Copies of this chain bind each other. A is one copy, B any other.
Amino acid sequence: MTATRIATSTPEDVIIRGKSLTRDLIGKLSFTEMLCLTILGEVPAPPRIAAIDACLVALVEHGLTPSAIATRLVYGSAPEAMQGAVAAGLLGVGGRFVGTVEGCAVLLARIAASADPAREAAAIVAETKTPLPGFGHDTHKPDDPRTPVLFAVARTHGIAGRHVAALELLGTALDAAKRRHITINATGAVAAVLADAGIPFEIMRGFALIARCAGLVGHVHEEQRDPAMRTIWEAADAAVQYTEE
């Protein structure tokens, strides 16, 4: 018999991670505490919650990203199903954008576990041919302004630890190898802070999905009130022209 440890429901209650939804959770936990409980199986202490809140807040919204545009176009085409518009945008939270959180966290774990973290960071830089996940940003140059703020929140609450240190070592190694400065971006900082807050690397993309889901709902609501869908469509259509071979 396969088992789940997440939840079950009875006529009188819903039991989630061993707690009563009606007695222990509704009105007792914040949404951030609740989402940690359901995903991780426990409610983190306040300093960890503060760090996780900071990471979620940082990832909610970044303007007209490809995800937000996809959500708006799908909502305008199929307004009967808001869930489809939000799902379409979430499908863009993948390997090339926010999914880099995961790739970076794997590297940080290697560095954090090493007897000689600085040497390990240099080895990672040397062996990596493609851009290092968590580094560089098209808009935020020369430095991603979110990174020091995330680190500061993590330090204030005593959360910053081996993974934040590993990310800084990786940045130093990268700058030395490239002989120029490449910024630690927000997904790198989120990877380090979430790792130090005890979030397993393989589910970090899930935290990005929750944060971005909220942002995409915001874009749906603006489409409801003040639609930009046709403008987006026409601008895209005008920018890509048909050419016969």
Contacts and interface: CB of A to CB of B under 8 A. Distances in A.
Given A80-B95, A99-B78, A241-B3, A35 B54 contact: no
Interface stretch (A112-120, A127-135, A147-155, A162-170): A147-155
Given A2-B239, A236-B235, A83 B94 contact: yes
B217 A7 contact: no
A182 interface: no
Interface string A230-245: 0111111111111111
A239 to B, nearest CB: 4
A208 to B, nearest CB: 9
Counting contact residues on chain A (CB < 8 A from B), the size range is 35 or more
Given A58-B26, A88-B91, A90-B87, A206 B244 contact: no
Give the number of copies in the complex: 4
Interface string A23-66: 00111011110110011110000000010111011101111111
Interface of A: 1-18, 21-22, 25-27, 29-32, 34-35, 38-41, 50, 52-54, 56-58, 60-67, 69-70, 73-74, 76-88, 90-97, 99, 139-141, 145-146, 149-150, 152-153, 156, 200, 202-203, 205-207, 209-211, 213-215, 217-222, 224, 226, 228-229, 231-245
Given A7-B242, A81-B84, 16 more contacts: A1-B239, A3-B228, A6-B63, A14-B62, A22-B145, A30-B30, A41-B245, A64-B240, A66-B74, A69-B233, A74-B88, A80-B81, A80-B94, A82-B206, A83-B94, A88-B88
